[in-house]
């Protein structure tokens, strides 16, 4: 085994070599399954809703929440297809269930029941996703009926058909994401969302470079936009892979007269951006509601709607300030939901672990809270910078960015997670191959000894 471990240590760097990838047949089948699932998804983004005249649509071009959803859905919302809502009703339901596990004691106890509790929570999440998708489907049907020339015969039956089609499309994508999780590579829901963003990216980049070629956009400004995107990409990759190592030590224990166990030293990794992309999505959604209402109202004499169009449009100073405030707020809020210093300190105390130089129990909880607060401050500044820079370009120079900071965050996180899983499969395949070779060599040696 020592020889085997040495071989693994020496060959782990070459886990992603082309020869090893060619031999990993299971990994190739998983990647092909993901590719096939994404092809099915992209075909569905071009199947229109029944009874809708897609040529008369003008959705997602006025900004606000609809524009954000249209980008994340790969243009499916603008075309009003069966996958218009993507998997966002399920993601919303998942976030609500996560919050309820903190607020409601019954949900918290259900979470602690292990696999059985997790299945019940997943089932309830799907029921809640169906309810949210039905409400949003009704909103879509009412929106379509208000648009001139889009719906030939507005009726109750039309609304029922739209709701059933949208709910069916959402739950099909949820099922497809689960299949990617079990039979493919990466997180299925995230890959579906990322593929929609990637599908829109070439068109937006073409429009950006076409503006530079036609002279509508100065060359220096075009280079500044591309340079800022590259800088944000490098910053996101660096921060998303960075974490703070907290030293955890376990004391030695005597389990028998001549045997000691424990005495190990390990690290607890705490990510700088523990909240992920959730604060940016929440902030965009909350600010997008009034912008969307103002856009749907069209030309209105309401002073409130006029004030929204004047001050809360994308790129306006008040919008940028409110967006930054919401991102910082949700960073601290969602991090507190995801990580409990008191619970972590209690679990370490039960397992006999401790942070060197810190007393177990309450002092350890205070230490984790102190470290987590400092990390969250850095993560909030980082998220705010990534999400606000595109808005500054939009507001000051009236330039549409090819991708938002939220979209770039999702893409980078999905790519990092998928690459890590691919490397894990390659190393696992290499480990199995070395074990088989080692077993064959040992069997040959045993046969020679018998002779």
Strand-pairing partners, residue 270, are: 244
Q: In angstroms, rounded to a whole number, what is the distance separating the alpha carbons of residues 384 and 377?
A: 11
Instruction: Find out whether 167 and 158 touch, Cβ atoms under 8 Å.
Output: no
**What tokens appear for 223 in the block?**
């280079």
Residue 206, C-beta contacts closer than 8 angstroms, at least 6 positions apart: none
Q: Which residue stretches of 15-114 are H helix?
A: 18-23, 25-44, 65-72, 76-79, 88-103, 105-111
Amino acid 18: pLDDT: 56
User: Domains of the chain, with CATH numbers?
Assistant: 25-216 (1.10.3370.10), 242-451 (1.10.3370.10)
Q: In angstroms, rounded to a whole number, what is the distance separating the alpha carbons of residues 56 and 276?
A: 38
Longest CA span, the chain: 99
Residue with tokens 């089948």: 29
Instruction: Find out whether 262 and 251 touch, Cβ atoms under 8 Å.
Output: yes
Amino acid 8: pLDDT: 41
User: Among candidates 424, 64, 393, which has minimal Cα distance to 222?
Assistant: 393
Residue 317, C-beta contacts closer than 8 angstroms, at least 6 positions apart: 395
Cβ neighbours around 232 below 10 Å, total: 20
Query: Strands 252-254 and 260-262, how do they pair?
Result: antiparallel
Q: How does pLDDT run along the chain (451 residues), one tens digit per residue?
A: 434 444 444 444 344 455 555 667 788 888 899 999 999 999 988 888 888 887 767 665 555 556 667 777 777 777 888 998 888 888 888 888 877 877 778 877 887 777 788 888 889 899 999 998 898 888 888 888 887 778 878 888 989 999 999 999 999 999 999 999 888 888 888 899 888 888 888 887 887 788 778 877 788 888 888 888 888 889 998 988 888 888 888 776 655 556 656 567 888 888 888 888 888 877 777 776 666 665 555 555 566 666 766 666 666 778 888 888 988 988 888 888 788 888 888 888 887 788 888 888 888 888 889 999 999 999 999 999 888 888 777 766 666 666 778 888 888 888 888 888 888 877 776 766 667 666 667 776 666 666 6
Sign of the Cα torsion 326, 126, 67, 392 reads: positive
**Four-CA torsion 394, 395, 397, 400, nearest 10 degrees:** 20
């Amino acid at each position: 085994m020592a020889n085997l471990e040495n071989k693994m240590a020496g060959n782990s760097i070459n886990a992603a070599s082309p020869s090893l990838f060619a031999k990993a047949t299971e990994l190739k089948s998983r990647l092909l399954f993901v590719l096939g699932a994404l092809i099915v998804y992209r075909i569905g983004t071009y199947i229109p809703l029944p009874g809708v005249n897609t040529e008369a649509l003008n959705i997602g071009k006025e900004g606000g929440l609809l524009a954000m959803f249209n980008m994340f859905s790969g243009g499916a919302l603008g075309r009003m297809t069966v996958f218009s809502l993507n998997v966002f009703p399920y993601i919303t339901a998942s976030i609500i269930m996560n919050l309820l596990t903190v607020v409601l004691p019954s949900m918290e106890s259900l979470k602690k029941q292990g696999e059985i509790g997790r299945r019940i929570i997943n089932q309830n999440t799907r029921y809640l996703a169906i309810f949210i998708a039905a409400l949003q489907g009704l909103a879509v049907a009412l929106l379509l009926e208000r648009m001139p020339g889009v719906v030939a015969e507005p009726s109750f039956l039309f609304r029922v058909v739209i709701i059933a089609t949208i709910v069916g499309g959402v739950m099909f994508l949820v099922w497809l994401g689960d299949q990617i999780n079990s039979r493919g590579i990466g997180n299925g829901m995230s890959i579906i969302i990322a593929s929609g963003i990637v599908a829109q990216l070439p068109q937006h980049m073409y429009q950006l470079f076409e503006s530079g070629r036609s002279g509508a956009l100065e060359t220096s400004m075009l280079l500044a936009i591309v340079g800022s995107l590259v800088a944000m990409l490098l910053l996101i990759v660096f921060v998303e892979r960075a974490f703070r190592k907290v030293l955890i030590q376990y004391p030695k224990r005597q389990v028998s007269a001549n045997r000691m166990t424990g005495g190990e030293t390990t690290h607890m990794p705490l990510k700088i951006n523990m909240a992920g992309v959730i604060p940016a999505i929440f902030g965009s959604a909350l600010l997008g509601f009034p912008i969307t209402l103002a856009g749907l109202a069209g030309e209105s004499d309401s002073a409130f709607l006029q004030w929204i169009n004047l001050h809360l449009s994308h790129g306006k100073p008040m919008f940028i300030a409110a967006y930054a405030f919401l991102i910082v707020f949700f960073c601290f809020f969602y991090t507190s939901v995801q990580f409990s210093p008191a619970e972590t300190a209690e679990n370490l105390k039960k397992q006999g672990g401790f942070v060197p130089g810190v007393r177990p129990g309450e002092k350890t909880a205070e230490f984790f809270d102190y470290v987590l607060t400092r990390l969250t401050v850095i993560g909030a500044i980082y998220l705010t910078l990534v999400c606000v820079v595109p808005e500054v370009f939009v507001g000051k120079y009236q330039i549409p960015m090819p991708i938002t900071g939220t979209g770039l965050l999702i893409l980078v996180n999905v790519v990092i997670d998928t690459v890590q899983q691919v490397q894990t499969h390659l190393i696992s395949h290499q480990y199995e191959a070395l074990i088989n070779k080692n077993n064959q060599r040992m069997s040959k040696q045993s046969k020679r000894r018998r002779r």
